[in-house]
Structure formats: C-alpha cells, structure tokens
Structure 1
C-alpha cells in the first residue's frame, strides 16, 4: 500500500514544480529595448541643427573691390611727412568688411588681394605695389585695362552663381581740394533699382549712426546715380560705388586714419547690407 502512495507523492511534487516554473517564466519581465533613432527623428534633429546654425547672410555672394592697387596707388594724401595712399586705406576697410560678411555666412570674393597685408591697425599704412587681381592676376597700370579686368572676373563669377543674392561693392577714397570736407557718398546705375536700394540702405545706416555717435556733426553724404563709372556701367550684379571721403582733407583723414574708425566704417557698411538682404 505504501508504494502507490509514494509514486503519487513524487508525481504530485513534479507537477507542482512544473507549474511553478511555467508561472515564473510568464511573470519574468521582458528586457526593455532602447529606443533607436528613427529616420524621422534624425531628419528632425538635422533640420533643427541647420536652422540653429544658419547665419543671416547664408547663401549670399559678395564681390568686394578696393580702388586701384598694384602699380596704381590712386590718390595720395599727406599727413605731416607721411603719404596716405588711397589703395591701402580702401583695401583695409574692404578686407574688414569682408571679414564681417563672412562671419555672417556670406561667400565673399576679394577682387583685389594683397598677399602680405591683412587687417592692419596702424594709422599710417605703408604703400606697396604687390596687390593682385582675383584670382591671382597681375594688375595692369592702364586704368581701362584694370577696370575691365575686375568687371570681367565679377561677371564670370556672377554667371556661375546664377540665382543667388549677389552684390558688387567697390570702395574708394576721393581726392579733392585740401580744404573741402566731404562725407561718404554712394553711387549706383540709373537703371538699377536693386543697386539703388542697396545704396539707400547703407546710406540710411550711416545717417543713423552719425546721429547716434556724432550728434553735433551733420551728415551730408548722399545717394546718387553715376552710370558713367566703368564698373557701375559694365558689371552684371547690382553695384554700389562708395567714396569714403577726401584723402586730402585733415577732417576727413580722421575718418580713416584711426584703425577703430576704419572698423566702424566696415561695420556700418555691413549693417546696411544686412538691412538690404532682410
């Protein structure tokens, strides 16, 4: 009688163990899978990064040309025993403007380049003749050949970047009688409404900044047409020709002798450009 009872007990215990095993297996929580990056979330994050990193002038193209260069220094002013060459001061303001525009996301072509001179903080900028034209061409002494060289290069680049926001800005320093104080002037082609608008935006910024920083000094600069200027007449992108002042006049010399003033000129030009693009 004991044998059957023992078998039943062993069988019952085995069944209970199987039940416990199945119950434990069902109750054990499944491991949680880490959420992977879906294509949709990756695209969203990528778009967000692009929006965050996009700069105000992203996608814009600027051609910047400082007046003269190479064998032609342009106008020469005098400050005591020192000579003040137009091309050196125009170049310094232009390269400062180039730096600001690049920081804002623009693509900038310097149509006149000096391999040795970057931004300089001296009051008197040394005259040299080693400037080259974009991309790396010798600058001719003949004025018409030099201007043709610049406009040809600009027009080729303009065709390459067709469809983009493109502007051409050329910067000079005027030369008039020693006693004549002038302000910053902006010229555009008579048939270029876009060039006129850019000139007006920059001019407006100069008026505003003069009121803010020099409230006791009237600003007499203006915007006008000057279609006869070679680069204004022959350049394909909208063009603004800028005269920074009279290099012969002691009052105007204060506008570009201090490096801080040259930086201010570049900053004000950039502000007007940003206004135009917005």
Structure 2
C-alpha cells in the first residue's frame, strides 16, 4: 500500500471549466497504471481519498484509514488489485473533478456526492452509501438546533462542497458563508469563534464530534440526502459496471456494515444500515 500527497495545479483549459480551484501538497503523479480495460490486476491503481476526515478517510502514520478507505480497498480487490497495489492520493473536495480529468487518480472515493452538475464532467458508480446533511456547533451552543437557527450566523463549509449552499440557496436561509480549504480548517474556525457552525454530511461531522468529545456538538437534526459515489473519469461505463457489482457484493456479504461499525460503532451516530440502490451506468 502506497501513499502519495498530490497537489493540483489547475490550468485554464476548457476541460477544467467545472473544476474548482485545488488545494493539496506535493509530488504530482501521473495517475495510476490501471489500463481501464476492465480486467483489473495492473501494476497499481491510484485512489483518491480524504486525509482529514475521522471515521471516513484520515491519514494515520503512513496510510489512510476509515470507512471510505475500507470501501476503496474492497472495490480494488474486486477489480483484481491487492492492498499493496493501491496508491493512495489525498483528494480534497475542491480537486476531485480535476484529479479525475487529468488522470492523476483512477477513481475517487472521498465522501463524493453524486450530482447532475458533477456528472457533466465525471462518471459515478454507486452510491455505496447514502448520508444526510447536518450541523456542528460548539459543545456549549444550545441556540442552534437546526438550519432555521442559522439565520444571521456565520457558517463554514469546505471549498468544493455544496453543503453550505444547500442551506443558503436551496433553503433560502440568510447565513453568512465562510469557505475553508477543508473541514479541519472549519473546525479550527469554529473552535476560535470565527464561525458559528459547520455544515456538511452527518458522517463527516460525527467523526469530528467523536474525535473531540464535549468540544463540539452535532445538532442531530439531519436534512437532505447525500449519495456517496465512486468518481471515475468520463467515459468509464465498463469500469462503472464493475464497481457497481463490487458495491452490491460488498453489502450482500455484510462487509459494508462491518466497515460502518468499525468506523462509527463507538459513537452515537446512527449510520444508515440499508443497502443503497446503485444507479445505472451511462
């Protein structure tokens, strides 16, 4: 198992018109060595995951751990790759599309919600899990109990995520938006009082709350739906079908539930236990 930190230096090409500005660290690679012919078992496969989300994708020592990492490892295995053939790359919310477009990674499994806008530039398999959106506040903040209480408050979300815009644009709640490079930065802003709340998927917030008991409180008033997909380069219909088959098998065998229990079993987060229905590949 190999770990790479990859920065994304975005060009101004038309192919990146929908990609948001990137963030990351060093060592730009040329993507995985997966041939994409559906046979799997190439030299390596490069998978983008989060490195800063407890319970989902968190870099510990020299390797990431969490539910998304377990899902990625299982899917890679079904495609013919052993764990030591996986190269991990840090995929921040803002660079997931560009990494897939540029061939920096072969797939992205990083709390990557399936949306029509994103489907214009990348393909998705899945979903492999269906989350909901929620809100995180300081542990002693009892004033915010739901989205409606964010009126006039400062709300943080990571660059490249649409969570805060769901509240401001879709729910028409007049909150002031503050974007950060990632959710770890949002947590720092929340801790020092620069923002009043952080919003994103309940899976992500549960991990941060569990890592900081008493410091932060998840409102536990979920809303909306976030369908986590496996991001693939555009035109990956055959690979999409293979990944969908792996996702279905992962749930049928109980592997997905075992991974959820391992990630969130010691928290009070009520994770979804029902098998998601995967979309047809196009």
TM-score (norm 2): 0.22
Bigger strand share? 2
Q: Which has the larger radius of gyration?
A: 1
TM-score (norm 1): 0.23
